[in-house]
Structure 1
């Protein structure tokens, strides 16, 4: 990306940040008022200092009365300056952290409405890095901008006015050397932004790898992947170190470069002012004030150059966050979207076409009609589209063409919440939230009574192991299930569905992690649960789906056979081939 494009992107990001700040414009106005008062009093002190110096005319000729009066005014000015500065910093903190809260909330809310297509194509570590690390970095730069940028600019303008009031000609010397400092800061800032952008992206990549390794440590160790993981980590870490070093290098030379220019300004003022004092153009007190102003005038350039560096980092981080926020969410639901109520469970798929990648066809011209209460089993080789059908039924993805209807309503014209509320889903991959076992079972029904929760656990054959836990149903578990076995976590997920008992069920390898004895019990519980409910069962173990009303045999995204278990065996087709090969293995 060219430097002009980077500059345009940076400016666009800054405008986006200002839209968030606009919500707190009254606080910003108050902060600016405090900044003006702080700068005005700070710049008034050198005038008073110069007057105090002029009260000391010569040895034995000192105006002590006038000197004491000036000192009292200086003390009052300094005291008010401290109060105003404290108020300004407090307000700036309030604005910064509220803006950061708004951005982080917006980003998190965006995550909840993003299509799974986007989530699946980005590592969770990168997304976490954007919401946590990048927003933290953004807040630091924003805080520096509020606390130093306002006062820095005001100090420069105020100092120029005060210097002009003392002597316009020496002020021209100061102004003439100012562009040098601005050129240095601008030259460095352009290069700093690019490095900070690469730093943020690589940091997200490193977070993603670390999250992946920690979340799958058993697999990493089981396959001896540690050395390769270490090499990958070192490669990304080396890139991060390189970008960080370059960003730090460019940002670190800003201050000494501007200090050098500022020292030139101070020396020029000292020489010109001394000449003026000798010629009687200035008093010694005015020269003292002028030197103080020259120092105060150049100091903000150092601070602003530092702020610009931090802002470059903040803008690079904010750009990544806004990139997430700007992603296209799920299509908006129609204003007349139907809320499914009293669902019977009639499901129809008509000429459905879908693929994750347009260049790789998956499901083509899929037709299916399921009557209320039917148990539909879906079988087939890996990658044939079984789980994809489930994703389409739940509207995790929308069909490319064709339609899916529930009780005669196209799911695209139904509210997602009402659609998903009417489906109960148990997946092969368990998911538990950080909290008590009770909270995990009642995840879909927070208002469930204790008796209902216990009954659901009993039906899922989870009650016995829960009672053996240290605090029973109040036992805290982590988001990965803590010390629970994979089978126990699966039982909790089954209990969660049994508590809700919606009119339609999806069981995607729901008993894959459960021992055979418990599976037999669970299958009986499922049979009771599925009575009168439309059910979709995805299973690799064909022995678990013999009682299905209809078995769909999928291959390459198409239904190649369908019928009952007995009918399909009699056909001696693809299903019989799969069943016999599995039976032989067993």
Structure 2
């Protein structure tokens, strides 16, 4: 029987803090995020270094090309002048050698570029494959409070796993190599220009500080919009997910226009941030083109004067002209790459923020010899003890004040009370979705904080008000309770839970595919399938949370029969608003504002004429 300790009741509070979105901002640590991303790519450093080396080699080959081609031009002009003066002719053999050399150089450049692209694509896909896997595993490790307590919305997590990782993949594949090739080309071209003419090189280099100022101004303005764009994309995804899942309610209350209004509000914010980021991104290239053209005009003027003075060869002028174009092109590309890197950093930062989120901490002491928890429940008998438990989702705002109950193995405990009394919160504590603030909660004499969560939860099965079933066959959904179960065991569990009669009427029977949300079967059938899943799991402690609240009386009777069979020989916690369903419970705990105000059997509580009797009579006063 339950042993209850009571304290004066306190004012109730809304259960579960709500979630909120973080407002847009600049990337908090651009350099740190890029460094963290490079460190994350550590396992693939060989491929990354090879790709960078090949990209640099490709650029070096292409940079040498114009100089070699200029030699061919100079050789042609010298031969033509000698032919005109009657002192010689054009050396076609020499020109042929130069052109063959040029062909080999360009082929080597193309080969290095192709191999680099193949390697970098592989590295990028391996990185994002690992990242998606880590996000998926992280979702199961973050505490429930991460979503309940204002961390991020589920839609935002989905956006980080899809949009952010996809954008990161594209940016990483394009941006990193483009950065390397652009810098290499700038250095290589600068060296080649200096070898041709210091004067012409000086004219070209004047454009560098102008370019740097333009880049700095535009990058500083655009960086915050890339971060805001990704965050708003997550907000839009969250809104779409919410509207899709609640479409029936939206239509029933004629709130379609309101839903569209809320979506338009988020979509407008996304449009604003995306427009600004893309506009500033597109603005850099034409600005850099103007600067490059000014430098090109200066080179033409000075080069013509040097040629007249005989201070430079005609082929060198041709090569230098090509180098000027090749010099301004990578500067323009750097402007584009800077936007790509900003976007990459914004996406990486959001992904790493989630991967760095706090996880459920194991408080169990470890055995030094094995590294595993020193204390374990194993296969529990089912004894549960709440010892002066207090809990609140937020500091100083308690929901459960001083709750004590000693539940013997195999007993059925019903927990009743008005909405917000803390009934479901007790079950969250029992499963260690949250830990108690004070007191202790034990299973088979083991404080749940001294054992691993996996060890604790293997002893629980649940049937909830919202029957969760995934897209897949009925057989797969039932087998979710025990993955190694045979088909015969799955079908036996279905018969035990009174499911077989409707399963056989469905096309394909046990191989009938439930759609997303299992909307192609009734609510009552979904509940029976979740009971079959719990039957197959065959665990010693059972939690039934409003399992019959959404069905009609006849279906409720069928579900109740299935649950009665399921509860036989198990420690069962039944949360119910329909008090007729818990008449046979061994003990009924009546919660009010986080306190147990009454306890006893159904008949004992009715005889007292207290709060439970009032609840019961209010449900059946019309019948009476």
TM-score by length of 2: 0.90
Structure 1 residues 445 and 8 mapped into 2: Cα distance closer, same or farther (>3 Å)? closer
**What is aligned with 1:494?**
531
Question: What is the root-mean-square deviation in Å for CA atoms of aligned residues?
Answer: 1.6
1:446 matches 2:446: no
**What is aligned with 2:308?**
278
Structure 1 residues 572 and 8 mapped into 2: Cα distance closer, same or farther (>3 Å)? closer
* Candidates 459, 479, 483, aligned match of 1:422: 459
**What is aligned with 2:238?**
208
Deviation at 1:444, TM superposition (A): 2.2
Which stretch of the first structure deviates more once superposed, 210-219 or 161-170?
161-170
Question: How many angstroms apart in 1 are the aligned matches of 2:130 and 2:203?
Answer: 46
* Candidates 1, 18, 24, aligned match of 2:38: 18
* Candidates 390, 400, 403, aligned match of 1:353: 390
Give CA deviations for 1:347-372 in whole Å, capped at 9, x if unaligned: 11112111123353211111111111
Give CA deviations for 1:298-356 in whole Å, capped at 9, x if unaligned: 11111111111111122122222222122111113432423322311111111211112
State the secondary structure of the residue aligned to 1:56. helix
- The 8 Å contact of residues 285 and 336 in structure 2, kept in 1 or not, is answered as yes
1:247 matches 2:284: no
**What is aligned with 2:59?**
39
1:399 matches 2:436: yes
Q: Which runs of 4+ in 1 moved over 6 A?
A: none
**What is aligned with 1:257?**
287
Q: How does 1:233-382 map to 2 (within 5 A)?
A: 233-334=263-364, 335-336=366-367, 337=373, 338-382=375-419
Structure 1 residues 37 and 306 mapped into 2: Cα distance closer, same or farther (>3 Å)? same
Which stretch of the first structure deviates more once superposed, 79-88 or 549-558?
79-88
- The 8 Å contact of residues 349 and 368 in structure 1, kept in 2 or not, is answered as yes
- The 8 Å contact of residues 431 and 479 in structure 1, kept in 2 or not, is answered as no
Q: How many residues are paired up?
A: 582
**What is aligned with 1:133?**
163
Deviation at 1:176, TM superposition (A): 2.8
Question: How many angstroms apart in 1 are the aligned matches of 2:588 and 2:199?
Answer: 94
Question: How many angstroms apart in 2 are the aligned matches of 1:183 and 1:253?
Answer: 14
Give CA deviations for 1:156-185 in whole Å, capped at 9, x if unaligned: 111111122222232222223212112211
**What is aligned with 1:105?**
133
Question: How many angstroms apart in 2 are the aligned matches of 1:287 and 1:332?
Answer: 72
- The 8 Å contact of residues 490 and 513 in structure 1, kept in 2 or not, is answered as no
Question: How many angstroms apart in 2 are the aligned matches of 1:580 and 1:257?
Answer: 79
Question: How many angstroms apart in 1 are the aligned matches of 2:141 and 2:219?
Answer: 36
Q: How does 1:86-105 map to 2 (within 5 A)?
A: 86-105=114-133
**What is aligned with 1:65?**
93
Question: How many angstroms apart in 1 are the aligned matches of 2:403 and 2:429?
Answer: 12
Structure 2 spans left out of the alignment, 5+ residues:
1-24, 84-88, 368-372
TM-score by length of 1: 0.96
1:384 matches 2:404: no
* Candidates 195, 201, 221, aligned match of 2:225: 195
Structure 1 spans left out of the alignment, 5+ residues:
none
Structure 1 residues 93 and 381 mapped into 2: Cα distance closer, same or farther (>3 Å)? same
Higher RCO (C-alpha under 8 Å, 6+ residues apart): 2
Deviation at 1:296, TM superposition (A): 0.8
Question: How many angstroms apart in 2 are the aligned matches of 1:262 and 1:133?
Answer: 35
- The 8 Å contact of residues 206 and 295 in structure 2, kept in 1 or not, is answered as no
Question: How many angstroms apart in 2 are the aligned matches of 1:400 and 1:159?
Answer: 67
Deviation at 1:8, TM superposition (A): 5.2
Structure 1 residues 431 and 8 mapped into 2: Cα distance closer, same or farther (>3 Å)? closer
* Candidates 367, 392, 411, aligned match of 2:448: 411
1:79 matches 2:116: no
Q: How does 1:480-519 map to 2 (within 5 A)?
A: 480-519=517-556
Which stretch of the first structure deviates more once superposed, 227-236 or 61-70?
61-70
Which stretch of the first structure deviates more once superposed, 490-499 or 338-347?
338-347
Deviation at 1:191, TM superposition (A): 1.3
Deviation at 1:52, TM superposition (A): 1.0
Deviation at 1:402, TM superposition (A): 1.6
Question: How many angstroms apart in 2 are the aligned matches of 1:115 and 1:382?
Answer: 24
Which stretch of the first structure deviates more once superposed, 48-57 or 511-520?
511-520
Give CA deviations for 1:29-67 in whole Å, capped at 9, x if unaligned: 211221122011101110111011112223754332222
Question: How many angstroms apart in 2 are the aligned matches of 1:399 and 1:585?
Answer: 41
- The 8 Å contact of residues 354 and 399 in structure 1, kept in 2 or not, is answered as yes
Question: How many angstroms apart in 1 are the aligned matches of 2:333 and 2:514?
Answer: 48
Structure 1 residues 13 and 242 mapped into 2: Cα distance closer, same or farther (>3 Å)? same
